[in-house]
Amino acid sequence: MEKVTILNIHVTNTTKQQFVEQMILERAQRKAPLKIVTANPEIMMLAKENNHYEQLLQQSDHVVADGIGVVLGAKMLHTPLQERIPGYELVHSFLDQAPAHNNRFYFYGGKPGVAQAAAEKVKTLYPQAEVVGIADGYGGNGDEETVAIEISKLQPHYIFVALGAPKQEQWIADHAHRFQHCVMMGVGGSFDVLSG
Ligand code: UDP
């Protein structure tokens, strides 16, 4: 997929629908996990200020424009993006297509009870999408390493990580080696919205 460079970050330039279709195909084919960053302007600015975080973004498979600010920034730089691809909408799209692909999901992050409430909501919205596990983002299910080991036993197809930036991108980078045929996506406050 084509990418445009904004502040040293290569942002995937496609439509939401094409992105979802491509990720579904690639996830099944590629052994290594697909690492997706859903970037808002705060994430882009953090990368500008922090070399290590910039590298995390550069080493991801896809950075998509979650925020309208990123879309506007691209336009100002005369490298327009086709459209905004919000992480929250990707969460819904991946859950929605789950029955056709027998996909399993893991929800990691948010305050205690939030991922659980989000998973309950998923049961009503997408009854055939299987959320195989949840963990809160404040240590209630053990430290980050413990959670990673627990998730690796379940081998989900999608891991949504809601630890906020930069924690979620760091956790994905640290633990990607444990997963295959998997999409790992930082989703910020998505569980708060889904559960609310
Ligand atoms: N969060 C977490 N553990 C932490 C810090 C944050 O689980 O140590 C969660 C927080 O509860 C929230 C999410 O991370 O649900 C992202 O928060 P933020 O408002 O920063 O989201 P963003 O603006 O990145 O979408």
Contact 108, 163 (CB under 8 A): yes
Best residue among 106, 163, 170 to mutate for probing ligand 1, ranked by most atoms within 8 Å of CB: 163
Instruction: Assess whether the previous peptide bond of 166 is cis (omega < 30° from 0).
Output: yes
CA within 13 Å, CB half, 143: 1
The secondary structure element, H or E, covering residue 43 is: helix 41-49
Residue ranges per structural domain of the chain: 3-195
- Interval 58-72: pLDDT, tens: 999 999 999 999 999
Residue percentage of the chain with pLDDT more than 90: 96
Instruction: Kindly state the tokens that stand for 54.
Output: 């910039």
Using the mean position of ligand 1's atoms as its centre, give its distance from the Cα of residue 146 in Å: 19
Name the amino acid, one letter, at 167.
K
Q: What is the per-residue pLDDT for 98?
A: 82
Complex-level ipTM: 0.93
Q: Is residue 87 lining ligand 1, measured as CB closer than 6 Å?
A: no
Q: Is residue 192 lining ligand 1, measured as CB closer than 6 Å?
A: yes
Q: What is the per-residue pLDDT for 168?
A: 98
Q: Is residue 189 lining ligand 1, measured as CB closer than 6 Å?
A: yes
- Overall CATH class of domain 3-195: alpha beta
Average pLDDT, the chain: 96
